[in-house]
Chains A and B, each alone.
Chain A
Amino acid sequence: MKNSSALSELKKGMELPRVSAVIDRESISLYAKASRDFNPVHIDPSFAAKAHFGGVIAHGMLLLSYVSRMLTAAFGQKWFDNCRLDVRFKAPARPGDEITVSGIIRDVESSQKETLVFCDISCRNQGGEAVILGEARVRL
């Protein structure tokens, strides 16, 4: 979708290319090191077992990296330049979960100056439960 001719054909109701990822302890550990986010709810099973979610959970920003992957696949570098992302973390993602990121174009507003694309986005686990809900606005 990311070449310029395809971008000009974006329409309300179109789906963005889905991204799937399986959460595992290794990916959480690698992400903790890469981001220097060593919150024990992500990396310390004994602490996490006693915390609110009762076990280790993935970093929210790791899940947003999958959203980023979807938006990069859909819009290429356009989304680096002028994109707004509003998200709400609804439920934790745990090791073993398979997360599917999906997006649908809710609206396209075109003027002589620019085109704004509004997308509803979600990350859901294998049971269909929403882990992240939000919207992205990309200026083309």
Chain B
Amino acid sequence: MKKQAKIPYQKLKVGFELPRADYKLKPAMVAAYLKAVKESDEIYCDSKLVPPMAVAAYAMTAISDSVILPPGVIHTNGEIEFRGRVTVGDTISCYGRVSHQLKRGDIHLLTIDFSIRNQKGSAVITGKTSFVLPENGDREHPI
């Protein structure tokens, strides 16, 4: 995955496009995910299919890697549309755009629209994810 300069979340404005993040879905990554979520469906045992929620999770982490976030970020809601299968070995590109940002008291509300494309350029997942960010930290961490 490419390393990008991180952007403080306070500087994000509606319309801001986060740097693209690319990653290859390696067998060990997928195996670790399946173990962590105790997924044993034969669909994954008999094929190279990657659980769609794993792809969404990797993408959210990849997108958030480009932002300096305070500790204690909380995920409030999400809309995810799964549009195509992803298999082990695919290379995924994640695109994110700030679609909503609001400061209310000492918290920030942030919504990021995202799109995940495979190596052929086809969108495999699209959606939006929203967070509450407490304004109390100068530490950083991935979501």
Contacts and interface: CB of A to CB of B under 8 A. Distances in A.
Contacts of B79: 84-87
Given A68-B53, A77-B49, A34 B29 contact: yes
The secondary-structure label for the interface of chain B is mixed
A36 interface: yes
Interface stretch (A7-15, A58-66, A109-117): A58-66
A90 to B, nearest CB: 9
A76 interface: yes
Contacts of A84: 79-82
Interface of B: 29, 32-33, 35-39, 41, 43, 49, 51-54, 56-58, 60-61, 71-85, 134, 141-143
Contacts of B142: 36-39
A56 to B, nearest CB: 12
A66 B81 CA distance: 17
19 contacts: A27-B37, A30-B36, A33-B32, A35-B33, A35-B36, A39-B71, A39-B72, A59-B75, A65-B37, A68-B39, A68-B53, A72-B51, A80-B85, A81-B85, A84-B82, A85-B80, A85-B82, A88-B76, A89-B76
A69 B38 CA distance: 10
A37 B43 contact: no
A45 interface: no
A73 B41 contact: yes
Among A30, A36, A59, A87, the one with the most B-chain Cβ atoms within 10 Å of its Cβ is: A36
Nearest to B40: A69
A59 B53 CA distance: 13
Given A31-B36, A72-B41, A40 B141 contact: yes
Contacts of B49: 77, 80
B57 A35 contact: yes
